[in-house]
Amino acid sequence: MHPLVYGDYPPVMRSRVGDRLPRLAAEESARVRGSFDFVGFNHYPITRVRAAETNSGWTPKDYYADAAVQSNEILNHAHYGEMVPPPWALGKLLNHLKLKYENPPIFIHEIGAGENPDDPPGAIVYDDEFRSQLLQDYLEVVHMSMRNGSDVRGYFVWSFLDVFEFLYGYLTRFGLCGVDMNAAGRTRYLRSSARWYAGFLHGGELRPTAFNGSSYAAADE
């Protein structure tokens, strides 16, 4: 982001990467500065890191060595299953982009959750209130960030349907609409999250369900 907004790499990057980092001529810097229409990103697990010595002798000198950090732990939200960070992390990222990079237009390309780890593999699951809760929590964060000035233009849920995942094949199901992978016709069906999200997009309340401990209460009809 730094070259796109300020026309050059940040000083800390220059000091760590050295001559391996390209030098931008004045004309190149002017061309690259502001040469984007929007910022788009996917938001999934976040990782806590701790500082590592920059002169530790790590080889090869690559992205991870240059960052001079070591991973500590991956943060997930226990209520949403695997591969989902706490909602506050998105708010921090949006605020960072607003303050550090002149508040660019933002599209959130992907936020989603796999199936509940308590569900049997391959089971037909209609009730996925954990996913509805996730959507509510993240939309609330987006809403508050926009009220605080973030220029968020769009938000896309991953995914409309259960799909083939490059890392997980057909095992991890992210869809608002389920797909029966055991049926010859790959039968599709609506999950409760699809019904909630459709209702929300048509003007429904942000929080029709209530989280209570480790289970979700049924929404009032």
pLDDT in tens, 9-58: 999 899 888 889 999 999 999 999 999 999 999 998 777 788 876 656 66
The yes-or-no answer on residue 165 being catalytic is: no
Instruction: Tell me, yes or no, if the pTM score tops 0.75.
Output: yes
The sign of the torsion formed by the CA atoms of 64, 97, 39, 37 equals negative
The model's pLDDT over 115-125, given as tens digits with 9 standing for 90+, comes to 776 777 778 88
Q: Which uninterrupted H or E stretch holds 14?
A: helix 11-17
Model confidence at 219, in pLDDT bands (50, 70, 90)? very low
Which of 27, 28, 82, 110 is catalytic? The answer is: 110
In this structure, are strands 188-190 and 177-179 parallel, antiparallel, or unpaired? antiparallel
**What's the CATH number for 37-45+76-217?**
3.20.20.80
Closest CA to 207 of 114, 140, 158, 115: 140
Which two structure tokens, joined as six digits, stand for 183? 């049926």
* Contact residues for 138 (Cβ-Cβ < 8 A; gap 6+): 87, 90, 111, 155
Q: Which uninterrupted H or E stretch holds 199?
A: helix 192-201
Residue with token string 């992978």: 181
**Domain residue ranges of the chain, discontinuous segments joined by +:** 1-36, 37-45+76-217
Q: Which residues pair with 215 in a beta bridge?
A: 212
